[in-house]
Structure 1
Amino acid sequence: MILRNIDLAEVVKFINWTYFFSAWRIHGIYPGLESLCGCEACLQKWLLQFQPEMRGKALEARRLYSEAVETLKKLSESGALQIDAIVLICDAKAENEGITIYTDNKEKSVHLPMLRQQHPNETNGFCISLSDFISEKHDSIGIFAVSVRGADRIAEEYAKAGDDFNALLVKSLADRLAEAASEWLHRETRKKIWGYAPDENLSIEELHQCKYQGIRPAVGYPSIPDQSLLFELDKILDLRQIGITLTENGAMSPASSICGLYISHPKSFYFMVGEIGEDQLNDYAKRRDMQPDKLRKFLSCRCS
């Protein structure tokens, strides 16, 4: 299923502003920021919830948020950004320390080898892999991608004009819109497209707290640190359909793009593979049919 021109105003509701501020090195949580009316009295009342030493940062966050909202309004009105997505629900099973995904009535398949935590997880004492959340007999899995197009061109125009602030603002907003679109699409998938949680009724805050059933690990993120798996998912999704191209190093263009998996297991959870040993690197390289040295450049995790 391809979704084109997803409503930007709808996606904006799903932005996690905490991560936006972190990208600008304004660390912290600023509750109630989005509901401020803009008058001085409300601003001063809002500031009282922070310790005196944090109020300067809070004001900085408020100013940046106002700039961001105004920029998003302009982008929405101009139609300069296009948000597209693709999602497929496929048969799958776990095998050989990985996940095999079937398409076209099981006539085609793609195998995704998975990395496993080298050391036991602090939560349950096991070395976790995403393949643990998929049945070895028969299961289903979702694969998805979202792209935000137009931001690179706008940022480049700002940069050429010497406006580095707005160039960076547009880029950082596009990154957050890609994450927000992923959040929105995941909810749509759980409730409607896949429909395994049709009665879910969670607030945006609860979505950001991952209180839904299932997970959506993205390629290049802590649970799937091998960027080269994008080439395998591209065989199924044909990412060009939503304007995504891949470099030889597995980077996506436009940069504000995300591609990954939907796993519905009720006990699945997000985790970090973390540092892996040479033993696992060599084993994984065999399963990827790649030389270890070539594989290293695709891995976002450390190899000891």
Structure 2
Amino acid sequence: MTIHYNIQDIEPYINWIYFYHAWNMNGKPEAEKMKLRGDAEQMLHEWYGKYYTHAVFEILDANSDGDDLILNGIRIPMLRQQKLIPDGLPNLCLTDFVRPASTGIKDNVGVFATTVDAELQKKYINDEYKRMMAQVLADRLAEGTAERMHEEVRRKYWGYAPNEELTMKQTHNEEYQGIRPAVGYPSLPDTSLNFIISDIIDMKGIGIRLTESGMMTPHASVSGFMFAHPQSKYFDLGRIGNDQIVDYANRRGIPVELVKKFLKFA
């Protein structure tokens, strides 16, 4: 499924906290923040009808096999926390949120990618302030598109939360059921997973290209997985020990040094 969005439809999903963070505005006077946001909103309004954001996703049959995720027969190794966890709490892996293959019952997992028109990150090359503003807004729009898409997936396309009614604040606080961990983030640090995702969904179809390390261009792009389990939650892997790197490389079928390279880029 591919969806193209108008800028004005994604603007309400922008999390301005991260916008201010990108500008190092934490702790600055409210008037300065409002001036910056005013400039941002003016730029967004200038983009109405000229530029768009894009999403592609699939909801696939899935099961887990230990720390491996199996999507439509494709085996995708995952990493597990190794840090010390308080008594009674497990060391998490994303596969914990998927029904094991041993049950003989199929589960589902989503795969997604979002991006913006590439031209947005090439604008205003002769104006440093506007160029940076465009780049920060492009990043926020890609994230906002993932937020909007995930909402539509939960309520309609996957439909596991058809009666969900959340305010935008609740959405930004991740009070919905399920998670959408992104590649390069704490639970999915291996950028080369994008090569697998690209084979499953048509990332090129929405303008995303991958570098040798699996990084996406345009930079303002987001990719990852969607899990619906009611107890699923975001987590940080923490330090990844060499023993797990070796095991992970064996499960991926690629050299250990290459795995270390991919993890370095995350």
TM bracket (short chain): over 0.9
Any idea what the Cα deviations from partners look like across 1:234-275, whole Å, max 9, x if unmatched? Answer: 111021111111111111111111111110000000001111
* Residues 66, 95 of structure 2: 8 Å contact kept: no
Residue 170 to residue 128, structure 1, CA distance change in 2 (3 Å): same
- From 80, 85, 101, give the equivalent of 2:71: 101
Larger radius of gyration: 1
CA distance in 2, matches of 1:300, 1:210: 28
3-state SS in 2 of match to 1:223: coil
Is 1:18 the equivalent of 2:23? no
Displacement of 1:125: 2.3
Match of 1:187 in 2: 151
Displacement of 1:301: 8.8
Displacement of 1:119: 1.5
Displacement of 1:174: 0.3
Residue 147 to residue 172, structure 1, CA distance change in 2 (3 Å): same
CA distance in 1, matches of 2:76, 2:70: 6
> 1:66-77 residue pairs with structure 2 within 5 A?
66-77=38-49
Any idea what the Cα deviations from partners look like across 1:17-66, whole Å, max 9, x if unmatched? Answer: 00000011112xxxxxxxxxxxxxxxxxxxxxxxxxx5x53222111111
> 1:190-201 residue pairs with structure 2 within 5 A?
190-201=154-165
Q: How many residues align?
A: 261
Any idea what the Cα deviations from partners look like across 1:126-170, whole Å, max 9, x if unmatched? Answer: 11000000011321011111110121221xxx22x2x11110000
- From 228, 248, 251, give the equivalent of 1:284: 248
Is 1:227 the equivalent of 2:191? yes
3-state SS in 1 of match to 2:263: coil
Give the aligned residue type for 1:62: M
CA distance in 2, matches of 1:2, 1:175: 19
3-state SS in 2 of match to 1:298: helix
3-state SS in 1 of match to 2:70: strand
CA distance in 1, matches of 2:16, 2:181: 20
> 1:102-251 residue pairs with structure 2 within 5 A?
102=72, 109-122=73-86, 125-137=89-101, 138-149=106-117, 150-154=119-123, 158-159=124-125, 161=126, 163-251=127-215
Displacement of 1:123: 9.2
CA distance in 2, matches of 1:269, 1:94: 17
- From 264, 268, 273, give the equivalent of 2:232: 268
3-state SS in 2 of match to 1:258: strand
Match of 1:38 in 2: none
* Residues 274, 301 of structure 1: 8 Å contact kept: no
TM-score scaled to structure 2, two decimals?
0.94
* Residues 273, 301 of structure 1: 8 Å contact kept: no
* Residues 60, 108 of structure 2: 8 Å contact kept: yes
Match of 1:48 in 2: none
3-state SS in 1 of match to 2:29: helix
Give the aligned residue type for 1:110: I
* Residues 155, 163 of structure 2: 8 Å contact kept: yes
Gaps (5+ residues) in structure 2? Answer: none
> 1:31-110 residue pairs with structure 2 within 5 A?
56-77=28-49, 79=50, 81-102=51-72, 109-110=73-74
Residue 174 to residue 122, structure 1, CA distance change in 2 (3 Å): farther
Provide the identity percentage. 38
* Residues 222, 301 of structure 1: 8 Å contact kept: no
Residue 153 to residue 286, structure 1, CA distance change in 2 (3 Å): same
- From 246, 250, 255, give the equivalent of 2:219: 255
Give the aligned residue type for 2:170: E
State the Cα RMSD in Å.
1.6
Which segment drifts farther, 56-65 or 256-265?
56-65
Which segment drifts farther, 140-149 or 123-132?
123-132
3-state SS in 1 of match to 2:99: coil
Give the aligned residue type for 1:249: S
Give the aligned residue type for 1:141: V
Residue 301 to residue 274, structure 1, CA distance change in 2 (3 Å): farther
CA distance in 2, matches of 1:26, 1:10: 26
